[in-house]
């Protein structure tokens, strides 16, 4: 009887030890998984890398940003403009807080061509699938546009940068890696990003002027505007946004552009950063009608 009791106690102890070991192993596994980043998770820069190239989260903010960078003076407004006229020179019309008072965008970002002409702008490229199609459509209707290019894409596809310039379009710096939060970084970090992008562009087209800068997501801050103007670039926003980055379909993209376009308008579209076939197809509907209503222009390479 005593031997049976000893065996029972030993078995019970072994069972308890087994449960504890299993529990410890389970906890270690959960802790280890929490320390490994999910590879499918979107990076903080707003970019996910998939097999067919970079996809950018280019959704413009619907409300002004409440984040104030560390080196922004107290009381300086942040956020993005959605309407308005040309801001003129980067310092003109500002009241000292960064707010443009001449009818333009926040921090002097241009939301108008400053004339009766309309400007079509294409962001996030170049992309080997969609940029050539956009160029072909523009060529067919003899329309010049402005391409806001991402540095990493310019570096990967210099031939497309060359094709854009060869067709007479204007180039615009759109940051190196489409970092929506770039404006909240230090001035040195912002400058390094913009300079790196310009260098990638000029590696393909050494003499091409780069006088425009568009902040990803339209997330303008005083530091990013200060740096871009210090580098000789003018901040460029928009007045018409069909949200083609959401791929709503060619018909909806075309309808939005055609109903919202006004003299002096700057139209935001995308030739990269995701599936842009809807934008390409929409252009076939947009270009004939818009060309009949307005003079379409590439933004000038010597803005005043």
Between CA 123 and CA 130 the distance in angstroms is 12
Beta bridge partners of 119: 266, 297
**Pairing assessment for the beta strands 47-50 and 53-56 based on DSSP bridges:** antiparallel
Consecutive H or E run containing 266: strand 266-270
DSSP per position, 171-230: EEE--SS--TTGGGS-HHHHHHHHHHHHHHHHHH-TT--EEEE--GGG---HHHHHHHHH
Calculate the alpha carbon distances from 35 to 29, 30, 31, 39, 231 in Å. 10, 9, 7, 12, 40
123 included as an active-site residue: yes
Active-site residue identified among 123, 124, 127, 241: 123
Active-site residue identified among 241, 244, 270, 271: 270
Helix, coil or strand: residue 106: helix
Query: In the Cβ-directed half-sphere of 268, how many Cα atoms lie within 13 Å?
Result: 26
Specify whether the CB–CB gap between 160 and 132 falls below 8 A. Answer: yes
95 included as an active-site residue: no
Catalytic sites, residue numbers: 123, 270
């Amino acid at each position: 009887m005593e031997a049976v009791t000893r065996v029972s106690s030993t078995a019970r102890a072994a069972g308890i030890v087994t449960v504890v070991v299993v529990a410890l192993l389970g906890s270690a596994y959960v802790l280890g998984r929490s320390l490994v980043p999910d590879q499918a998770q979107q990076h903080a820069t707003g970019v996910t890398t998939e097999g067919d190239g970079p996809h950018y989260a280019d959704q413009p903010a619907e409300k002004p940003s409440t984040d104030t960078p560390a080196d922004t003076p107290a009381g300086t407004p942040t956020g993005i403009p959605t309407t308005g006229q040309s801001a003129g020179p980067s310092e003109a019309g500002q009241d000292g807080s960064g707010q443009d008072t001449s009818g333009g965008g926040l921090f002097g970002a241009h939301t108008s061509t400053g004339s009766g002409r309309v400007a079509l702008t294409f962001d996030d490229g170049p992309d080997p699938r969609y940029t050539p199609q956009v160029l072909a459509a523009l060529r067919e209707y003899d329309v010049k546009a402005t391409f806001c290019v991402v540095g990493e894409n310019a570096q990967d596809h210099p031939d497309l940068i060359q094709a854009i310039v060869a067709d007479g379009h204007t180039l615009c710096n759109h940051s190196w890696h489409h970092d929506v939060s770039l404006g909240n970084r230090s001035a040195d970090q912002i400058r390094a990003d913009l300079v790196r992008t310009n260098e990638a562009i000029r590696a393909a087209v050494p003499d091409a002027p780069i006088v425009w800068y568009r902040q990803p997501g339209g997330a303008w801050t005083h530091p990013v505007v200060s740096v871009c103007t210090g580098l000789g670039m003018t901040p460029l926003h928009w007045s018409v946004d069909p949200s083609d980055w959401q791929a709503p379909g060619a018909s909806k993209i075309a309808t939005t552009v055609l109903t919202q376009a006004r003299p002096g308008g700057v139209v935001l579209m995308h030739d990269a950063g995701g599936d842009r076939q809807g934008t390409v197809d929409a252009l076939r509907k947009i270009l004939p009608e818009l060309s009949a209503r307005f003079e379409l222009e590439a933004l000038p390479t010597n803005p005043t």
